[in-house]
């Protein structure tokens, strides 16, 4: 085969690849435009959990002191984010144990009002949860830290699906039984690569972090392992409590969301996600992920409202817990999920 023919073949292959890539980008863009005409319909397909909560109501006191009944806002879709510490055996499904979660955040997307609200549930939050058997059936109740909910669902069966089921049900129960039917689990080891996929993130430092060399009031650029270290740091930072770590995780998320948005919706969906998908487990469909990403693209990241489940640190029988402040929690739940 002569040199000229080889060049023509290579040029043809390269051209085909460019056309395919361009076609994928155009398809993604076109699909995004179509989806955003009615984003809620994407999540409405076969969603029996959402339907089961259609008539959910609460009684609350309004600003005029009147007792009123509020209905669950059907325009809301709730997605549970779980950050877990997964070793190689667990990633490959060879471990017979469950995993505690290092981070739990419920993202509440309201596509009609174009708002995103995120509730962080501190990992030490004291809650009642189910313990599931090998068939995924609840066999007993246990009161412990909420970060064990995933493990309590998975440990007997070694099936992630039961861990996710138990975690979603537990969070739903804590937040007034609002529907939680979608999840995104991220391996904490993937925090660095995920941040690197968008060029790293710039985060404000609220407290001195001597072990990492960060000073209070500074803004640091985080890449690689530094991202995970920042999100995990607790002891020797501020008061060393779980709430401080919760705030840092929220700051990191907002910084990542800002950077991810700047990369563009098509790039995020076609280039970034494939790079980091090995660190992620989710039951979201491609259409649902695209809807979420496009919603983020259409709003100002600074408008994302961050909440922390109200509560106080407390020592109970020698264990450190975060005990929910019920009245304050109810007010937050009514504000976010009901209308």
User: What pLDDT does 96 receive?
Assistant: 45
Min mean pLDDT across 23-37, 182-196, 285-299 is at: 23-37
Min mean pLDDT across 3-17, 123-137, 223-237 is at: 3-17
The answer to whether 231 touches 203, Cβ cutoff 8 Å, is no
User: What pLDDT does 189 receive?
Assistant: 86
pLDDT in tens, 299-315: 777 778 999 999 999 99
The answer to whether 195 touches 226, Cβ cutoff 8 Å, is no
Highest mean pLDDT out of 27-36, 45-54, 92-101, 103-112: 103-112
Average pLDDT (162-191) is 93
Average pLDDT (45-71) is 72
User: What pLDDT does 45 receive?
Assistant: 54
pLDDT in tens, 6-54: 444 444 444 443 334 444 444 445 555 555 567 777 776 555 555 555 6
User: What pLDDT does 109 receive?
Assistant: 87
pLDDT in tens, 198-209: 899 999 999 999
Domains for the chain: give ranges and CATH numbers.
39-337 (3.40.630.190)
């Amino acid at each position: 085969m002569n040199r000229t023919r080889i060049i023509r073949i290579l040029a043809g292959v390269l051209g085909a690849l460019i056309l395919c890539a361009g076609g994928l980008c155009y398809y993604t863009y076109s699909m995004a435009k179509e989806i955003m005409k009615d984003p809620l319909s994407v999540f409405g397909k076969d969603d029996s959990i959402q339907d089961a909560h259609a008539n959910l109501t609460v009684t609350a006191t309004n600003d005029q002191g009147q007792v009123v009944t509020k209905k669950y806002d059907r325009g809301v879709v709730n997605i549970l984010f779980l950050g877990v510490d997964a070793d190689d055996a667990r990633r490959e499904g060879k471990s017979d144990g469950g995993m505690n979660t290092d981070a739990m955040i419920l993202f509440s997307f309201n596509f009609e009002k174009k708002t995103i609200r995120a509730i962080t549930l501190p990992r030490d939050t004291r809650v009642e949860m189910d313990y599931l058997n090998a068939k995924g059936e609840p066999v007993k109740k246990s009161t412990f830290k909420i970060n064990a909910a995933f493990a309590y669902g998975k440990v007997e069966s070694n099936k992630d699906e039961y861990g996710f089921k138990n975690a979603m049900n537990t969070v739903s129960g804590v937040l007034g039984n609002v529907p939680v039917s979608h999840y995104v689990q991220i391996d904490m080891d993937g925090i660095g690569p995920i941040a690197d996929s968008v060029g790293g993130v710039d985060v404000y430092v609220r407290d001195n972090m001597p072990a990492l060399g960060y000073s209070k009031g500074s803004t640091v650029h985080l890449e690689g392992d530094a991202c995970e270290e920042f999100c995990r740091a607790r002891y020797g930072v501020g008061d060393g409590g779980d709430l401080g770590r919760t705030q840092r995780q929220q700051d990191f998320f907002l910084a990542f969301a800002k950077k991810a948005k700047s990369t563009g919706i098509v790039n995020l969906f076609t280039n970034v996600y494939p790079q980091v998908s090995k660190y992620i487990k989710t039951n979201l469909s491609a259409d649902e992920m695209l809807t979420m990403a496009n919603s983020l693209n259409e709003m100002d990241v600074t408008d994302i409202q961050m909440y922390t489940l109200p509560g106080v640190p407390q020592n109970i029988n020698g264990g450190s817990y975060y005990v929910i402040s019920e009245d304050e929690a109810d007010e937050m739940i009514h504000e976010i999920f009901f209308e």
